[in-house]
Structure 1
Amino acid sequence: MGQHLLLNDTEHRDLRVSVGHGAHLGDDVMGALTFPDEFRSVQAHYPIVFRREAAGGLVPLALFGLQEGCNLFLDGDRWDATYVPLSIQRQPFLIGIAGEQRLVHVDMDHPRVRQAGAEGAPLFDEQGGPTAHLERVRSVLLALHDGVDATPAFIEALQRLALLEAFFLDVRLDDGSLNRLAGFHTINEERLGALDGAALERLAGDGHLLPIYMVLASMSRFRDLIERTNRRRAAPR
Structure 2
Amino acid sequence: MARHAQLNNIDHRDLRVVTERGAAWGDDVMSALTFPGEFRNLQACYPIVFQKAADGSFQPVALLGFQTGQNLFLDERGWDALYLPLAIERQPFLIGLSVEGEPMMHIDLDHPRVGKTHGEPLFRTHGGTTEFLDRMASTLQALHEGLQAVPGFVDALLRHDLLESFVLDITLDDGAQHRLAGFYTINEERLSRLDGEALAALHVEGHLEAIYMAIASLSRFRDLIERVRRAQGHA
TM-score bracket relative to the smaller structure: over 0.9
Counterpart in the other structure of 1:162: 161
1:24-103 matches, cutoff 5 A:
24-98=24-98, 101-103=102-104
Displacement after TM superposition at 1:174 (Å): 2.2
Distance 1:95 1:48 in 2: 24
C-alpha contact (below 8 Å) 1:173/1:226 kept by paired residues: no
Distance 1:76 1:24 in 2: 12
Displacement after TM superposition at 1:100 (Å): 7.5
Counterpart in the other structure of 1:175: 174
1:217-228 matches, cutoff 5 A:
217-228=216-227
Counterpart in the other structure of 1:145: 144
Alpha-carbon RMSD: 1.4
Distance 1:100 1:210 in 2: 34
Residues 173-182 or 41-50, more deviating: 173-182
SS in 2 for 1:154: helix
* Alignment gaps of 5+ in structure 1: none
Cα deviation per residue 1:106-157 (whole Å; 9 max; x = unaligned)?
0011100002xx1110000011000000000000000000100011000000
Displacement after TM superposition at 1:44 (Å): 0.2
C-alpha contact (below 8 Å) 1:29/1:64 kept by paired residues: yes
Counterpart in the other structure of 1:114: 115
Displacement after TM superposition at 1:195 (Å): 0.3
SS in 1 for 2:203: helix
Cα deviation per residue 1:8-58 (whole Å; 9 max; x = unaligned)?
000000001111101000001111101100000000000000000112111
Amino acid at match of 2:95: I
Amino acid at match of 1:109: D
Amino acid at match of 1:155: V
Distance 1:107 1:100 in 2: 19
SS in 1 for 2:8: coil
Residues 133-142 or 71-80, more deviating: 71-80
SS in 2 for 1:234: coil
Distance 1:77 1:55 in 2: 38
C-alpha contact (below 8 Å) 1:164/1:187 kept by paired residues: yes
Amino acid at match of 1:68: T
Percent of counterpart pairs with the same letter? 57
C-alpha contact (below 8 Å) 1:20/1:77 kept by paired residues: no
SS in 2 for 1:96: strand
Displacement after TM superposition at 1:77 (Å): 4.4
* Alignment gaps of 5+ in structure 2: none
Amino acid at match of 2:94: L
1:191 counterpart = 2:190: yes
SS in 1 for 2:29: coil
SS in 2 for 1:32: strand
Distance 1:178 1:78 in 2: 27
